């Protein structure tokens, strides 16, 4: 059995874009007629350029290969062009193609992917969700309203979730780490207090930042929210200097979680070795795929660290996350996004029940991709999957992190 054909679909989820502006799906077919699906979570370049990267990687390193040759295909891609170092764009392309190969193998042997990864150690996967606006909430006001956030948290707890995530401490800026405004610190404390009062001890609270702060600023903000006992302080500083994470962790009692912008086991090993995080958050469509993150999970196990697969993408990456999660002993929790569009794209094959995802026994990734629906929602915009603002932190008027994929303000 050899890999033969590739189809790439760029799908645009309905507004407000929970999961980003677009998702890049790949369908890989063998010479025996078996098709597998993967998802490339890569946003460094636009989707048209990314499609060319994916096609190039496929034709160079996947075409006519046996889909089980993961080590060979990884090493050739990782070394491409005399590099042998983590590359977000190249490994993003590789990751989606690699996930598709696992789907193919599962279908070939009529077994779920987790069975090929060493078997199932977790019968179900604990899930968490971002706090999203409820129907009666104003979409813009929600992100700076502790009261609305507390309502959303209460709603999720009512559905059985035992952990909720939020990020009130904007801005999401390209300028790198900055010192948070006092208003940002106050708003963060107000969010933590309101949500903790709403959920009590029924749920963990997960505090996100998207790498917005300087090392000193992250410590300052972290100390302010410590009294509310977050389960983690997510990506408190930019991911371009991994040694600085250890300074933040050493100054705080809150566990540091990070990794949504990491790729390959090398970067995860570095953060674990430095003591900069005790929870790693791989995005499988970017980090190197399932097998590479199985290795990263094993490295984390050595450091007594846990794994919390990240999801800000479509449902195929979600399915891959679940297959990995079923097979690792140091799983903490997995992110989920429940929207009608996510579910429709995979014909409702993944569901959160009482805060947990039951691990599928179906072959491959355990999903059925609605290819027609994916193609009926093409992305025609010019923005990337996620965009960072140019403007710096506003110390006079406050800041906010807008969820979803809002349109950029025109100059």
**Residue 393 is assigned to a structural domain of this protein:** no
Please give the pLDDT value at position 401: 75
Please give the pLDDT value at position 140: 87
How many CB atoms neighbour CB 247 within 10 A? 17
Which domain does 287 fall in, by range?
115-365
**Residue 40 is assigned to a structural domain of this protein:** no
For 56, residues 6+ apart whose C-beta sits below 8 A from its C-beta are: 93
Is residue 263 within 8 A of residue 288, CB to CB? The reply is yes
Please give the pLDDT value at position 405: 64
- The two tokens of residue 370 are 């609605």
**pTM, to two decimals:** 0.96
Residuewise pLDDT in 10s, the chain (411 residues): 999 999 999 999 998 889 999 999 999 999 999 999 999 997 789 999 999 999 999 999 999 999 999 999 999 999 999 999 999 999 999 999 999 999 999 999 999 999 999 999 999 999 999 999 999 999 889 999 999 999 999 999 999 999 999 999 988 889 889 999 999 999 999 999 999 999 999 999 999 999 999 999 999 999 999 999 999 999 999 999 999 999 999 999 999 999 999 999 999 999 999 999 999 999 999 999 999 999 999 999 999 999 999 999 999 999 999 999 999 999 999 999 999 999 999 999 999 999 999 999 999 999 999 999 999 999 999 999 988 889 999 999 988 877 666 555 544
**Residue 256 is assigned to a structural domain of this protein:** yes
**Residue 12 is assigned to a structural domain of this protein:** no
Residues forming beta bridges with residue 125, ordered by sequence position: 357
Nearest partner of 42 among 10, 1, 65, 78, judged by Cα: 10
Phi, psi torsion values for 256, nearest 5 degrees: -90, 130
Across the chain, what does the average pLDDT equal? 95
Whole-angstrom distance, CA of residue 267 vs CA of residue 245: 13
- The two tokens of residue 253 are 């009692």
Q: Provide the CATH number for the domain around residue 310.
A: 3.20.20.120
For 102, residues 6+ apart whose C-beta sits below 8 A from its C-beta are: 36, 113, 116, 289, 290, 291, 320, 323, 364, 365
For 224, residues 6+ apart whose C-beta sits below 8 A from its C-beta are: 185, 188, 189
Residue with tokens 């072959």: 363
Whole-angstrom distance, CA of residue 132 vs CA of residue 342: 15
H-type helices in 109-145, by residue range?
Answer: 113-116
- The two tokens of residue 85 are 């170092």
Residues forming beta bridges with residue 128, ordered by sequence position: 335
CA-to-CA dists, residue 279 to 215, 242, 271, 338, angstroms: 18, 14, 10, 23
**Residue 79 is assigned to a structural domain of this protein:** no
Whole-angstrom distance, CA of residue 87 vs CA of residue 85: 6
**Residue 128 is assigned to a structural domain of this protein:** yes
**Residue 161 is assigned to a structural domain of this protein:** yes
H-run or E-run covering 192: helix 182-199
Domain count, the chain: 1
Whole-angstrom distance, CA of residue 77 vs CA of residue 59: 11
Residue with tokens 């491409």: 80
Nearest partner of 131 among 67, 203, 54, judged by Cα: 203
Checking DSSP bridges between strand 256-258 and strand 279-280, what pairing results, if any?
parallel
Whole-angstrom distance, CA of residue 200 vs CA of residue 203: 7
**Residue 58 is assigned to a structural domain of this protein:** no
Please give the pLDDT value at position 410: 43
For 229, residues 6+ apart whose C-beta sits below 8 A from its C-beta are: 196, 205, 254
How many CB atoms neighbour CB 83 within 10 A? 11
Sign of the dihedral defined by the CA atoms of residues 259, 261, 267, 273, in that order: negative
Please give the pLDDT value at position 407: 54
For 222, residues 6+ apart whose C-beta sits below 8 A from its C-beta are: 233, 236, 248, 251, 252, 254
């Amino acid at each position: 059995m050899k890999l033969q054909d590739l189809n790439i679909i760029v799908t645009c989820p309905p507004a407000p874009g929970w999961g980003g502006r677009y998702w890049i799906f790949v369908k890989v077919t063998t010479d025996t007629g078996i098709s597998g699906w993967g998802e490339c979570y890569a946003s460094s370049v636009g989707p048209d350029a990314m499609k060319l990267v994916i096609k190039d990687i496929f034709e160079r390193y996947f075409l006519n290969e046996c889909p089980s040759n993961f080590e060979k295909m990884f090493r050739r891609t990782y070394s491409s062009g005399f590099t042998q170092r983590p590359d977000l764009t190249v490994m993003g392309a590789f990751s989606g193609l690699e996930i598709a190969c696992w789907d193919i193998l599962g279908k070939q042997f009529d077994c779920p992917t987790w069975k090929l990864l060493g078997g199932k150690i977790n019968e179900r996967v604990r899930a968490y969700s971002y706090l999203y606006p409820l129907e009666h909430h104003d979409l813009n006001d929600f992100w700076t309203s502790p009261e609305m956030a507390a309502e959303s948290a209460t709603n999720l707890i009512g559905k059985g979730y035992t952990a909720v995530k939020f990020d009130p401490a904007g801005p999401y800026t390209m300028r790198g780490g900055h010192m948070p405004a006092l208003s940002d610190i106050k708003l963060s404390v107000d969010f933590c207090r309101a949500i903790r009062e709403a959920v009590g001890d029924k749920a963990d609270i997960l505090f996100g930042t998207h790498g917005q702060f300087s090392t000193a600023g992250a410590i300052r903000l972290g100390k302010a929210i410590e009294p509310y006992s977050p389960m983690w302080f997510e990506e408190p500083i930019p991911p371009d200097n991994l040694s600085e994470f250890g300074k933040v962790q050493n100054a705080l009692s809150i566990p540091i979680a990070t990794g949504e912008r990491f790729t390959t086991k090398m970067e995860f090993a570095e953060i674990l070795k430095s003591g900069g995080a005790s929870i790693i958050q791989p995005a499988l469509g970017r980090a190197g795929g399932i097998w590479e993150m199985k290795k990263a999970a094993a490295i984390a196990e050595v450091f007594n660290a846990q794994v919390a697969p990240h999801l800000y993408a479509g449902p195929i990456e979600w399915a891959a996350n679940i297959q990995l999660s079923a097979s690792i002993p140091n799983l903490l929790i997995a992110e989920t996004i429940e929207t009608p569009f996510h579910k429709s794209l995979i014909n409702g094959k993944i569901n959160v029940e009482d805060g947990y995802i039951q691990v599928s026994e179906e072959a491959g990734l355990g999903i059925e991709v609605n290819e027609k629906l994916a193609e009926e929602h093409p992305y025609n915009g010019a923005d990337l999957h996620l965009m960072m603002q140019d403007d710096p932190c506003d110390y006079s008027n406050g800041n906010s992190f807008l969820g979803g994929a809002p349109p950029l303000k025109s100059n």
